[in-house]
A and B are shown apart, each in its own frame.
Chain A
Amino acid sequence: MTAVINENPIIQVNNLKFFYPGDARALHGIDLSFPEKNVTALIGPSGCGKSTLLRCLNRMNDLIDGCRVEGEITLEGENIYGKNTDIIELRRRVGMVFQKSNPFPKSIYENVIYGLRIAGEKDKKLFDERVEKSLKAAALWDEVKDRLQESALGLSGGQMQRLCIARAIAVNPKVILMDEPCSALDPKSTARVEETIKDLRDDFTIIIVTHNMQQAARVSDHTAFLFEGNLIEYGLTDQLFVKPQVKQTEDYITGRFG
């Protein structure tokens, strides 16, 4: 099915097909548009292709040898699979937070400014400013402001994940992709991260993959339900959860499968 939301889309996915090595098709032609400064959740059972779709949005799937993409994804009107696309530039515009928190074995401070450093930034004042701003945005500032120079590996799981969010924010992306950011966290940390996500929606477009429907319901404005590589239903979160249009969606959100 197609779902078009004409609310100022920042990313437009047109007939996206994705093949893993050996021509195993993971996505069967997805059409989808993500509205700007909104939180969109991708839900669906394991292996439905939601993570694959997410990873297509910043071309993280390029790291897999032998995979193939058909169709088109535009970011602010530009095809990111076009010939002249600069992947580096793309990834700086589309940040990502992973399922497993992955702070680098460096200090908290260095972790946050990593993206700036690799872009050749050297301004110390900018760094300080950006660190404070990003950590505040990720709601981590108060907890770590006294130990910015300590190793990031000493943080708790939830703090690490928020640090990763801060690290993604620090380069000022347009879009932040989140791949089940809370799946490895305890409920309390999950709540903190969800709070952070809600706070970020004013400045960033957030696309979040989640297994947890309550979480999707709590944090997202829009929700897309994927099943076996197809987009089944897409709409406002409130509507989708309350009044699903498609039987499969209903079955899924009521817990009949998945």
Chain B
Amino acid sequence: MSTTTKNMNKYWRIGEPMVWLSGASLAITLLTAIILLAVIMINGLGVFWPAELQRLELQDGNQVIGRLIKSEPTADGSALRRQYKIANRDLYGLDFRWIDEDQIVSQEVPRNLLVLERIEHGDFYGELKSLNLNGTTRTASLPDLTKALIEVETEIRGLRELEGKLKDASYLMEQLRLKKLKFDYKGVPANDPKQVALSQEKAILDEEFGHLIDIQTRQNARAREDTAMFTDASGREKEIVLADIFQVYAPNSMGLGDKIAFYSAKLLELFVGQPRESNTEGGLFPAIFGTVMLIFVMSLFSFPLGVIAAIYLREYAKEGIVVRIVRIAVNNLAGIPSIVYGIFGLGFFVYGIGHSIDSFFFPERLPTPTFGTGGLLWASLTLALLTVPVVIVSTEEALGAIPREMREGSYALGSTKFQTLVRILLPMASPGIMTGLILAMARAAGEVAPLMITGVVKLAPALPIDGNFPFFHLDRKFMHLGFHIYDIGFQSPNVEAAKPMVFVTTLLLVLIVLLMSSVAIRLRNKMKKRYTFGTF
């Protein structure tokens, strides 16, 4: 037997390959994580980049204007095919098109190609032909169009203001209606001064509302008079109302600086803008706002409750079999499926407490539920329950890690238990408590299943906070980033067109959650290091 074989045998016997295999396991784990993040990054970051528009001439003589999405081998693997976004949904019906590479005769990047972001029907790719302003038609170029758009913009802004007023008015009318319902329910007779005042108020409002509607109709008609004529790849003409154009740009004539500026503007819009086109375009503001509100209201409940419960368990309860069981139960609760919490929230908060609140305080509105349906408050409470164990466990660990000498030192100086708690223990445990809270918040940001049944919606008509009394409307439904992903990725009619937005939302959510949890984990590791001082 040669020495090499012998060595080899020994090598296998002492298990060195197993070390390598375990290394490989780790490598695979890390690689999958990296791939996941890379996929999100690649797909998410590029969405807003104003990539060039190509004009293709195909073998069958057709012309195509589109943005290259990807290219991959054809089904039989012999050639390549490319996916283009061709937009113009109202003309072609489809946003995307696969083109075999060998079909393409020529390919160019004309500088005058425009991208129009429209209020409806998605983007339009094409060339500008003429402008129709104040009834006169003339040929025009991009600067003319931009100028005209700015003018229209002021009109649209006026319309927006009007819309806001209308919204306020209808809110007031709704309040009046509810008030009337209440009077009727209580049996206040119709000739009671309160009822009379109410109907007078209503009459005034009705008139005002009608007036506003009139103005709106008129202004709307005026704003829609100005149009522009565009042509698509094959020269087909399309007249588009200027008021319907959200934004216009010519990606092929933009420099790098322009592109970066454009990208930044789009990012800003993402954070502050309203969603359009059944959430597949526009901003994420209501979803971000809803998520933040949810986390905030949830923390308001889960933080104090979790901390108090942990303090009780660690500092006040007598160690014994009961506390041990409770501790196991609490740890256990952290592992209960979130959907179980969700169904509890539905059964207990929404149908239990919510219905009771309705029948006590808003009986006149029934059967229309006020609190007896999903809403921000119930979703937050459900998530609070879900995250309380996280806070309890980390607070308990933090309190448990404080050396006994600290407590004794404080007692020996004549302080009470509460003073010791407030002055020594809580400050020392604060990083641990913070860790728990941040982990809980990260969990709330990413949790979707329980929200789906306790009050999240795809499109909330109003934010949970606004200028109308009582300002916080915790009974309202809300939007949430995680649910946004599920909704536009799986419930939207045009999944392919929705994909970019899903990836952007995903990227945002991943960044938020990763940031929060890395902060939490750093805090925790720091704390672990700090408490080793006592053992010098």
**Is there a direct interface between A and B, measured as CB atoms under 8 Å apart in the complex?**
yes
Residues of A with Cβ closer than 8 Å to B? Answer: 58, 60, 63, 65, 88-92, 95-96, 98, 100, 102-105, 114-115, 117-119, 153, 157, 164, 167-168, 171
* Bitwise interface map of B from 497 to 536 toward A, beta carbon under 8 Å scored 1, else 0: 0000000000000000000000000000000000001101
Chain B interface extent, by class: 20 to 34
Given contacts A102-B403, A105-B427, contact A118 B536 (CB under 8 A): no
Partner of B413, one of A89, A100, A105, A168: A168
> Does B414 sit within 8 A of A, measured CB to CB?
yes
> Does B35 sit within 8 A of A, measured CB to CB?
no
Separation of A139 and B470 alpha carbons in the complex (Å): 62
Given contacts A88-B416, A96-B412, contact A104 B533 (CB under 8 A): no
> Does B466 sit within 8 A of A, measured CB to CB?
no
Interface residues of B in 398-451 (CB under 8 A from A): 403, 405-416, 419, 423-424, 427-428
Separation of A58 and B533 alpha carbons in the complex (Å): 27
Separation of A91 and B420 alpha carbons in the complex (Å): 14
> Does B70 sit within 8 A of A, measured CB to CB?
no
Separation of A115 and B414 alpha carbons in the complex (Å): 7
Given contacts A91-B414, A119-B414, contact A104 B536 (CB under 8 A): no
* 13 pairs of residues in contact across A and B, judged by CB atoms under 8 Å: A60-B412, A63-B411, A88-B416, A92-B414, A98-B409, A100-B534, A102-B403, A102-B406, A102-B408, A105-B427, A114-B415, A118-B419, A119-B414
Q: Which residue of A lies closest to B424 (CB)?
A: A104
Q: Which residue of B lies closest to A103 (CB)?
A: B409
Q: Which residues of chain A are within 8 angstroms of B138 by Cβ–Cβ distance?
A: none
Q: Are B412 and A114 in contact (CB under 8 A)?
A: no
Separation of A65 and B406 alpha carbons in the complex (Å): 18
Separation of A117 and B423 alpha carbons in the complex (Å): 10
Interface residues of B in 286-320 (CB under 8 A from A): 318-319
Q: Are A100 and B405 in contact (CB under 8 A)?
A: yes
Residues of B with Cβ closer than 8 Å to A? Answer: 318-319, 403, 405-416, 419, 423-424, 427-428, 533-534, 536
Q: Are A65 and B413 in contact (CB under 8 A)?
A: no
Given contacts A104-B424, A118-B419, A153-B533, contact A60 B414 (CB under 8 A): no
Separation of A157 and B533 alpha carbons in the complex (Å): 11
- Least Cβ distance of B191 to chain A in Å? 65
Q: Are A58 and B412 in contact (CB under 8 A)?
A: yes
- Least Cβ distance of A26 to chain B in Å? 18
Q: Which residue of A lies closest to B417 (CB)?
A: A63
Q: Which residues of chain B are within 8 angstroms of A164 by Cβ–Cβ distance?
A: 409
Separation of A90 and B424 alpha carbons in the complex (Å): 21
Q: Which residues of chain B are within 8 angstroms of A104 by Cβ–Cβ distance?
A: 406, 409-410, 424
Interface centre among B407, B411, B423 (most CB of A within 10 A): B411
Main SS at interface, chain A: helix
- Least Cβ distance of A163 to chain B in Å? 11
Q: Are A95 and B534 in contact (CB under 8 A)?
A: no
- Least Cβ distance of B107 to chain A in Å? 68
Partner of B411, one of A60, A105, A117: A60
Q: Which residues of chain B are within 8 angstroms of A98 by Cβ–Cβ distance?
A: 405, 408-409, 412
Partner of B409, one of A58, A92, A102: A102
Q: Are B412 and A95 in contact (CB under 8 A)?
A: yes
Separation of A164 and B427 alpha carbons in the complex (Å): 20
Q: Which residues of chain B are within 8 angstroms of A168 by Cβ–Cβ distance?
A: 412-413
Q: Are B405 and A102 in contact (CB under 8 A)?
A: yes
Separation of A103 and B534 alpha carbons in the complex (Å): 10
Q: Which residues of chain A are within 8 angstroms of B408 by Cβ–Cβ distance?
A: 60, 63, 96, 98, 102
Separation of A100 and B407 alpha carbons in the complex (Å): 13
Q: Which residues of chain B are within 8 angstroms of A90 by Cβ–Cβ distance?
A: 414
Q: Which residues of chain A are within 8 angstroms of B415 by Cβ–Cβ distance?
A: 88, 114-115, 118
Q: Which residues of chain B are within 8 angstroms of A105 by Cβ–Cβ distance?
A: 427-428
Q: Which residues of chain A are within 8 angstroms of B412 by Cβ–Cβ distance?
A: 58, 60, 91, 95-96, 98, 168
Q: Which residues of chain A are within 8 angstroms of B319 by Cβ–Cβ distance?
A: 65
Q: Which residues of chain B are within 8 angstroms of A92 by Cβ–Cβ distance?
A: 413-414
Q: Which residue of B lies closest to A160 (CB)?
A: B536
Q: Are A118 and B405 in contact (CB under 8 A)?
A: no
Q: Which residues of chain A are within 8 angstroms of B419 by Cβ–Cβ distance?
A: 118
Q: Which residue of B lies closest to A105 (CB)?
A: B428
Q: Which 3 A-B pairs have the closest CB atoms?
A: A102-B405, A92-B414, A96-B412
Interface centre among A65, A89, A91 (most CB of B within 10 A): A91
Separation of A76 and B335 alpha carbons in the complex (Å): 57
Interface centre among A100, A157, A168 (most CB of B within 10 A): A100
Separation of A119 and B410 alpha carbons in the complex (Å): 12
Q: Are B405 and A114 in contact (CB under 8 A)?
A: no
Q: Are A157 and B536 in contact (CB under 8 A)?
A: yes
Q: Are A114 and B410 in contact (CB under 8 A)?
A: yes
- Least Cβ distance of B422 to chain A in Å? 10
Given contacts A98-B408, A102-B409, contact A114 B403 (CB under 8 A): no
Other A-B pairs beyond A60-B412, A118-B416, A164-B409, 16, CB < 8 Å: A60-B408, A60-B411, A90-B414, A100-B534, A102-B406, A102-B408, A104-B410, A104-B424, A105-B428, A114-B410, A115-B415, A118-B410, A118-B414, A118-B419, A118-B423, A171-B413
Q: Which residue of A lies closest to B535 (CB)?
A: A100
- Least Cβ distance of A22 to chain B in Å? 13
Q: Which residues of chain A are within 8 angstroms of B406 by Cβ–Cβ distance?
A: 102, 104
Q: Which residues of chain A are within 8 angstroms of B427 by Cβ–Cβ distance?
A: 105
- Least Cβ distance of A91 to chain B in Å? 4
- Least Cβ distance of A173 to chain B in Å? 9
